[in-house]
Amino acid sequence: MDLPLTGVDVYALPPVSERFRGGFAGFWWSHIPKSRLRSFLTQFHRAFAPGATVVFVDNVFAPESSTPISHQDAEGNTYQKRPLEDGSTHYVLKNFPTADELQRAVKRLAMDVEIEFLQYYWSMSYVPHSDG
């Protein structure tokens, strides 16, 4: 494949000479700003052959194990305040979509959508439409 492993803007992926038969993104969805989700998915889907399977896995907000949400911006993105070992703290974008939000995000972009929520994780698989 001609897709480089580093230095790639996921919102403007370069064209690939071959199409992939599947794609997986683990613990990625939650770090995409809501306003950029559609453009990310559109770019991501360009890399797939017709009939490819796409799978996403990410965290469910679980109060007993998740870092609390520190704040929410005007767009609805949520953030966690995370301390590092060096003593610094940083705000990290961390969205926790509902099943309905996941379904709406891939509406008109995918078919055969399957979503499953477990105690700590969710998964979604689907086949991207070849035109979108």
Q: How much is the pLDDT for 4?
A: 52
Q: Would you say residue 75 lies in a domain? A: no
Q: What percent of the chain has pLDDT over 70?
A: 94
Q: Above 80 in pLDDT, residue 72?
A: yes
10-60: per-residue pLDDT in tens?
A: 888 888 888 999 999 999 999 999 999 999 999 999 999 999 999 999 999
Count how many domains the chain has: 1
Q: Would you say residue 74 lies in a domain? A: no
Q: How much is the pLDDT for 1?
A: 47
Q: Would you say residue 104 lies in a domain? A: yes
* Residue span of the structural domain in which 116 resides: 20-64+98-128
73-88 burial, b for 16+ CB within 10 Å, e for fewer? Answer: eeeebbbbeeeeeeee
Look up the CATH number of the domain holding residue 113: 3.40.50.150
Mean pLDDT of 56-69: 96
pLDDT band at 5 (very low <50, low <70, confident <90, very high): low
For the ranges 15-24, 51-60, 68-77, 104-113, which has the lowest average pLDDT?
15-24
DSSP string, 47-74: TEEEEEEEEEEEEPP-TTTSPPEEEE-T
Q: Would you say residue 84 lies in a domain? A: no
Could you identify the residue written with the tokens 């070992």?
A: 85
**Greater pLDDT, 56 or 5:** 56
DSSP string, 69-115: EEEE-TTS-EEEEEE-TTS-EEEEE-----HHHHHHHHTTTEEEEEE
Contact 41, 96 (CB under 8 A): no
Q: How much is the pLDDT for 3?
A: 52
Q: Would you say residue 25 lies in a domain? A: yes
